[in-house]
Chain A
Amino acid sequence: MLFDKLNLLFLATVAASVAYCLAVPGAFFVQVILWATLAATLGAGIRFVMLVGELNIGTSAFYGIGGYTAAYLTTAYGLPFGVALVAAGIAGGLVAAVFGYATMRTSGAYFMLISFAFAEIFRMLVVESDFLGGNNGIIGLFVSVEYEPYFAATVVAILATLISALAVIENSSLGKSFIAIREREEIARSVGINVLAIRVLCLVISSVVIAVAGACSGFITHLVTPNDYTFMIAVFALAYVKLGGEEHPTGPILGAILLTLAAQYLISFGAYQQVFFGTVIAVAMILLPQGITGRLRDLVRLTAKRTARDAG
C-alpha cells in the first residue's frame, strides 16, 4: 500500500541523509539536512498531540525548554552533548506533565489559547532571566572537536529514531486510545480509559521528543535566544503537517522537507518568509485539505478502482 511505501521512502531518506552527513560533514547541504530534520521532528511532535485532538502551540516552548536546558548545562557545567540531550528530554517531559495535568481538562480552542499563552510566558520568562542570558541568550554550545565530523549524522539518526518511535506508539493500542479520545471522549471513558491521564501522557511523549530536538537545535547554531523559540515555531510545524497531510506520520516529514527546501530560496525575503508560511497553510487547506499524502492516497485508490473496473 501507499503508506507502506512512504514508510520505506522515509527510511531510505534517513539512510541517505546519514550517509551524506558522514561523507561530507562540512558541506552546506548538511546544514539544510539538519534544518529539515529539526522541522520534521517539530511536525511529527505537533501532529502527535493532534492524535488526541489538540493543537499545541506550546510546542515552541517545549522546543525552547530543550534548547535552554542543553545550553545551560553545557555552558555552566560543561556537560557533554549526549547528557545534555537526555536532560533536555527529561526537562521537557516533566514540564509537560505539570502543564498538561493543569490544562488538558480543557480542549479545542480553549486548550489552543492556553498553550499559546504558555508559549508566550516561556519566552517572556527567558527574556527576564539573567542566568539564561535575557534577550542575548546563551552562546557556546559545542560538541567536542574530535566528535564534530559525526555530529550531523548523529542528530539525524537520533531524531529519525524518535520520529519512528512516535509512529510506533501511534500504531500501538496506546495510540488507538489517543485516537479514540479524539473520536469520541464519552466512549473512551465508558470503556475504562482515564482520559485526562492518557491525554497528558500523549503531551508528555510529544514534548520529550520536541525538547530533544530543541537541544539539537542549540548545538547546530551554537546559540539559543528567546527569538529562536517563539510561537512561530508551532505555526511552522502546523504548516508542515497541513501541507504534508496529517493522516499518516510521514505527512509532516514530507511537508517539513519541502518547506525547508523552499525556505532556502526565501531567506532573502526576510520577514515575508512568515507571510509565505501563513499562505502555505491557507492554500494547502483549500487545495489539499488532506495534505499531499492524503491526495496521493486518494489518487492511488482511484487508480486501483479504475483498474479493477477495467479488468472486471
Chain B
Amino acid sequence: MPAETQPLFAAEGITKRFGGLVAVSDVSFEISRGEILGLIGPNGAGKSTIFNLISGFYRVTRGRTVFQGQDVSSLPIWKLARIGLARTFQHDSLLKGMTVRDNILVATTQFIRNPAEREKRMSETIDIMGLGEVLDEKASNLPHGHQRILSIAIAFSGRPALLCLDEPLTGFNQTEVLGGLDIIRRLREEFATTVLIVEHNMRAVMSLCDRILVLHHGKLLGSGSPEEVQNDPAIIEAYLGKSE
C-alpha cells in the first residue's frame, strides 16, 4: 500500500487479559494520517488499557498493533518513541524536580544531538506551548494548567507522527480548555501531527475530534463523527443508561 493511503496506525483484533479479566476484547480500528481521534467510554470501559497497548506500556495478549506499516506489538517503549509514537501521562506526567527547560531538553535530546539544532527545536516547542515565561521554574512549582501543557510539550518534543494524549484537559477551567484545544489543533495544522485523545470533557472532545471511538466493557461499541456518536442510541444508552 502506498504510504499516503496507508493508515498511520492500526489495531488489529487486540485483546488484553489480566489474569481472568478481559480488559480489552478483540478491538480493531485505524487512525488515519492527520486525524484527531477521540477515545471515549464510561469508567472501566478499557480506554486506559487501549492507550497503554498503543503506546507499548502493555503487551497485547492477542492481535497486533501496526504503526506506519510496521508490526510494533512487541517493540519497547523507547523504540516506539524514537519512530514517532509518543504519549502523555494522566498522573505524574512531569520530571517534577527538574526545571521546565530541562524537562523539554531531556525529551528533545533523544532526537536531536546537535546542540544548535536542539536549541532551535526547543524554542519552537516552548513557543507553541506558551511556556516561555516559566522556563526556569521547577516543574513541581508550576500551576496545574502549565503542568498539563508541559506534559504535552515533553511528548511533542520528538515531533511524533502520532501523539497520544491521556486526559490532557483534566482539571482545566473553561479558558484553559480553550487554550489547550487551540494548542492541539495547531499541532495538527502546523506539524501535521496525528492525535489520539482520551478525555472526559465531552464538550471539548466533541468540538476537537474528527472522529470518535466509543468503548464499552472492553469492546468497540461504535465510531463516527461527533454528531453521529451523539445521536447513536446504543452509545447514548451505554453512557446515560436506558431512557424510560
Are B81 and A192 neighbours in the complex by a CB distance under 8 Å?
Answer: yes
B87 touches A190 (CB 8 A): yes
Given contacts A176-B98, A184-B92, contact A190 B109 (CB under 8 A): no
The CA of A193 and the CA of B107, in the complex, are separated in Å by 9
Residue of B nearest to A182 (CB): B97
CB distance from A175 to the nearest CB of B (A): 10
- Look across to chain A and name the residue whose beta carbon is closest to the beta carbon of B87: A190
Contact string against A for B residues 68-88, beta-carbon threshold 8 Å, 1 for contact and 0 otherwise = 000000001111011000110
A230: interface (CB < 8 Å):
no
Does B94 sit at the interface, judged by CB under 8 A? yes
**Interchain CA distance A180-B111 in the complex, whole Å:** 16
A187 touches B93 (CB 8 A): yes
CA–CA, A188 and B95, complex, Å: 9
Asked whether A186 lies within 8 Å of B105 as measured between CB atoms, the reply is: no
Which of A189, A192, A194 has the most chain B CB atoms closer than 10 A to its own CB? A192
Measured between beta carbons, the chain B residues less than 8 angstroms from A190 are 55, 77-78, 81, 86-87, 89, 154-155
Complex interface bits, A178-217 against B, C-beta within 8 A gives 1, otherwise 0: 0110011011111111110000000000000000000000
B98 touches A189 (CB 8 A): no
Q: Is the CB of A189 within 8 A of B105?
A: no
Which interface residue of B76, B94, B95 has the most chain A CB atoms within 10 A? B95
With A189-B81, A192-B111 already in contact, the answer to whether A183 and B96 are too (CB < 8 A) is yes
Is B57 engaged at the interface, CB distance under 8 Å to the other chain?
Answer: yes
Measured in the bound complex, the distance between the Cα atoms of B157 and A180 in whole Å is 15
Docked CA distance A191–B155 (Å): 7
Query: Which among A176, A184, A195 has the highest number of chain B CB atoms within 10 Å?
Result: A176
Size of chain B's interface in residues, with CB distance under 8 A? Answer: 30
The CA-CA distance from A243 to B121 in the complex, in Å, is 40
Which residues of chain B are near A173, meaning CB under 8 Å? 105-106, 109, 118
Q: Cβ of B46 < 8 Å from any Cβ of A?
A: no
- Is B158 interfacial (CB 8 A cutoff)? yes
Q: Is the CB of B110 within 8 A of A193?
A: yes
Residues of chain B contacted by A186 (CB below 8 angstroms): 57, 77, 89
A residues less than 8 Å from B97 (CB atoms)? 179, 183
Contact with A along B18-61 (1 / 0, CB 8 A): 00000000000000000000000000000000000001010000
The answer to whether A184 touches B110 (Cβ under 8 A) is no
Tell me the bound Cα distance from A121 to B88 in angstroms: 43
- B102 adjacent to chain A (CB < 8 Å): yes
A41 at interface by CB-CB < 8 Å: no
Check A69 for interface membership: any CB of B closer than 8 A.
Answer: no
Residue from A176, A189, A192 within 8 A of B158 (CB atoms): A192
A177 lies within 8 A of B78 (CB): no
| A183 / chain B contacts, CB cutoff of 8 Å | 95-98
> In terms of DSSP, what is the predominant structure of the interface of chain A?
helix
Whether the Cβ atoms of A194 and B78 lie closer than 8 Å is yes
Which residues in A have their C-beta under 8 angstroms from that of B118? 173
Which chain B residues border A188 with CB–CB below 8 Å? 106
Taking a contact as CB atoms under 8 Å apart, the answer to whether A187 and B94 are in contact is yes
Q: Do A191 and B105 form a contact, CB below 8 Å, given A180-B95, A183-B96, A186-B89?
A: no
Kindly list chain A residues whose C-beta atoms are within 8 Å of the C-beta of B76: 189, 194
Chain A proximity mask over B102-124: 1 for CB below 8 Å, otherwise 0: 10011101110000001000000
Query: How many Å lie between the Cα of A188 and that of B57 in the bound state?
Result: 13
Distance (whole angstroms) from the CB of A178 to the closest CB of chain B: 10
By a CB distance below 8 angstroms, the chain A residues around B107 are 191
Contact of A191 with B98 at beta-carbon distance under 8 Å, contacts A176-B106, A177-B106 already known:
no
Closest to A188 in B: B106
Roughly how many angstroms separate A36 CA and B81 CA in the complex, as a whole number? 45
From residue B109, how far is it (CB to closest CB) to chain A in Å?
4
Asked if A176 contacts B92 (CB within 8 A), the reply is: no
B109–A176 contact, CB under 8 A?
A: yes
Question: Closest chain A residue to B164 by CB distance?
Answer: A190
Cα distance, A188 to B81, chains bound together (Å):
10
Name the distance in Å between B98's Cβ and chain A's nearest Cβ: 6
Are B154 and A191 neighbours in the complex by a CB distance under 8 Å? yes
Which residue from chain A places its CB closest to the CB of B83 in the assembled complex? A192
* In the bound complex, CA of A184 to CA of B77 (Å): 14
Closest CB in chain B relative to A221 CB, distance in Å: 40
Enumerate chain B interface residues (CB-CB to A < 8 A). 55, 57, 76-79, 81-82, 86-87, 89, 92-98, 102, 105-107, 109-111, 118, 154-155, 157-158
Can you report 13 residue pairs joining A to B where beta carbons are below 8 Å apart?
A: A173-B109, A179-B97, A183-B95, A183-B96, A183-B98, A184-B94, A187-B154, A190-B78, A190-B81, A190-B154, A192-B111, A193-B106, A193-B110
Apart from A184-B96, A186-B77, what 19 extra A-B contacts exist at CB < 8 Å?
A: A173-B106, A173-B109, A179-B95, A179-B97, A180-B95, A180-B98, A183-B95, A186-B57, A187-B89, A187-B95, A187-B154, A189-B76, A190-B55, A190-B77, A190-B78, A190-B155, A191-B155, A192-B78, A195-B78
Contact surface of A with B, Cβ cutoff 8 Å: 173, 176-177, 179-180, 183-184, 186-195
Query: What 8 A-B pairs come out closest when comparing CB atoms?
Result: A192-B110, A192-B81, A173-B109, A191-B107, A189-B77, A183-B95, A180-B106, A192-B82
